Amino acid sequence: MLIAIEGIDGAGKTTQAKKLVRWLMTNGINACYTSEPTNSPFGRLIKKRLRTGDSDHRVDALLFAADRIEHYYRYIKPRLDRGYVVVTDRYVYSSIAYQGALTGEIDWVKAINKWVPPPDIAIYVDVSPEVGLRRLSGRKMTRKTKYERIETLARVRELYQKMCMEGLLISIDGEQTVEEVQENIKKVTIDALLRAGIFETDTAGRR
């Protein structure tokens, strides 16, 4: 099973994804954490470009798509084939939201990401741009990325919310406490695990 955790910068995705993996493992499920962009050559180039304000958004979109294809077929799929639950911190919906917002070409962004399958569950951790940026300002980071602007994050959030309305993602209020957000994420995950037969009973999943 592939679970994607999505959200704007500062939403707390990484914290929630890692906590979810630890909880799954505590419940006897083989699980692993991964994230995008990766540390592949594509991913390293992306990270460098994100700190360059003048990089072309269409080139960025292509690099993200290439990194994702390599990520899926070299890392995610082999683990799915071995029965793991893979939790990824960002996936295809990040490209649709971010590169869709910045290029204005959502259909094109979707098209260049068609070579990877959708996740089994996509969870969107929703926070306002103001909250996201405030959280980011409290972190120890050397340089901001070009996405960390309130206007950009507002448009990205709109696209995420639109995808939630279309049923592509499940929205979770990310402005609650870390523990409350995690409990809501676990509820969504448990329901999916029960449907997939990974948890045999609801009681087993909620301990």
- For residue 136, give the nearest of 21, 22, 10 by alpha carbon: 10
Q: Just give the CATH number of 2-205.
A: 3.40.50.300
CA distance 193 to 200: 9
Q: What is the pLDDT of residue 141?
A: 53
Tens digits of pLDDT across the chain (207 residues): 999 999 999 999 999 999 999 999 999 999 999 999 999 999 999 998 888 767 799 999 999 999 999 999 999 999 999 999 999 999 999 999 999 999 999 999 999 999 999 999 999 999 999 999 999 987 655 456 678 789 999 999 999 999 999 999 999 999 999 999 999 999 999 999 999 998 876 544 454
Q: What is the pLDDT of residue 52?
A: 76
Instruction: Report the relative pairing of strands 121-126 and 31-35 from DSSP bridges.
Output: unpaired
Dmax of the chain from CA atoms?
Answer: 52
Beta-bridge partner residues of 31:
85
CA–CA–CA angle 185, 65, 129 (5° rounding): 50
Domain ranges of the chain: 2-205
**Helix (H) / strand (E) containing 5:** strand 2-6
CA distance 164 to 175: 17
Q: Which amino acid is at 193?
A: L
- The encoded tokens of residue 65 equal 């798509």
* DSSP conformation class of 33: E
Q: What is the CA radius of gyration of the chain?
A: 17
Q: What is the pLDDT of residue 147?
A: 80
